[in-house]
Structure 1
């Protein structure tokens, strides 16, 4: 099967929605909940260690929940 041909097993409206990019206002890094130091460490791609948790606590104290937004696309 050629990748240039749409998959006939999917409805045409499903194929059309896959061809469009998600608008920026629909993309979210957080769901409005509090950001924990563990969340920040994991989003940074680091291991959860006492040192990394302390780094995350300081970063959250300085930047607030926006610290997570800066790490995620």
Structure 2
């Protein structure tokens, strides 16, 4: 039994994924809690302070650097 897909249903390898599918930002504000969770860290006072500093320095772009 073959697991390969028919040629018609395969995506072309030279097709790029549209930007609208790659970005996670919704246009809303990013909270320190959002940044901590997106980075895979636990919600601790130290991690929340790290996120506050990162958001103060980089703004919402901090989230995009973690989740493009």
* Fold agreement, TM-score > 0.5: yes
RMSD: 1.8
4+ aligned runs moved over 6 Å, structure 1: none
Structure 1 unaligned segments of length 5 or more: list them.
Answer: 7-11
Highest Rg: 1 or 2? 1
Distance in 2, Cα, partners of 1:64 & 1:2? 49
Higher relative contact order, structure no. (Cα contacts within 8 Å, ≥ 6 residues apart) = 2
Structure 2 unmatched ranges of 5 or more: none
The TM-score, its normalising length taken from structure 2, stands at 0.76
Counterparts of 1:1-73 in structure 2, within 5 Å, are 1-6=1-6, 15=9, 19=11, 22-23=17-18, 25-26=19-20, 27-73=22-68
How high is the TM-score relative to the length of structure 1? Answer: 0.72
